[in-house]
Amino acid sequence: MTRAMLALLATLLAAPAAAHHVGAYVPKDNAVTINFKQVKFSVQARKFDVALRLFETGALRAEMRAHAATLPAGLEDETRAALATSDGPEVERRLMIFFAALARDLALEADRRLAETGGTAESRAATGRKFLEAIWRYYNLVDFAVATRDNKTSVAVRLAFDEAETYVKPATGATAPADPARLRPPLQRIAQVLSTLIEASSTQARRNS
């Protein structure tokens, strides 16, 4: 596991859990998501000079560098170039790839953690919930960009995420107890679907360069 992923997981596992549901839960921002929104809104306002400065000096670029080993080659430089040439659609594409990659890597790590033996069902479900919260925090930022390019991928991620949630919810009344063992297949589907999206989008981005 990379040092960047270890740092991300340390923050993830230390954070308090929050109840949520796909389409309704609004994840809390961190420095990376705040910087993303700053860059996004500046691009939408056609203030590319501001967007470029925010990207160059912000947590978003630093996070790209930290995760460079698991990102498509050149993603940071290509994002910066798209900002420098005022190419809004390509900025959106590159940032979509980045956050899809973060979500994919979290899904893969969650699957690995749940494959390990040991721990109670409750503790494993709590770990699963925290991973799902982190995955959604990042994927939710770019779901609209994904949907406008490939709605089937957006639907597939949402359905898999929604299914995963049902296996980690605490028992309440007639609700069945958490079943973290069943969480692995939807996590694997999320990782697979996002990997395909990243590869296809990276290929398209290279063609447009």
More confident residue, 90 or 28: 90
Is residue 17's pLDDT more than 90? Answer: no
> Residue 195 to residues 6, 104, 105, 108, 157: CA-CA distances in angstroms?
20, 7, 9, 11, 11
Residue 21 lies in a domain: no
Query: Torsion angle, CA of 9/12/15/21, rounded to 10 degrees?
Result: -160
Cα angle: 189, vertex 100, 1; to 5 degrees: 80
- How many domains is the chain built from? 1
Is residue 124's pLDDT more than 90? Answer: no
Residue 105 lies in a domain: yes
Q: How far apart are CA 153 and CA 130, in angstroms?
A: 23
Q: Pick the closest to residue 168 from 19, 7, 4, 14 (CA basis).
A: 19
Residue 137 lies in a domain: yes
Mean pLDDT of 183-200: 96
Q: Global pTM? A: 0.83
Is residue 187's pLDDT more than 90? Answer: yes
Is residue 24's pLDDT more than 60? Answer: no
Give the range of the structural domain holding residue 170, as residue numbers without chain letter. Answer: 27-208
Mean pLDDT of 6-13: 46
Is residue 37's pLDDT more than 80? Answer: yes
Mean pLDDT of 131-155: 94
Residue 15 lies in a domain: no
Which residue type does 86 have? S
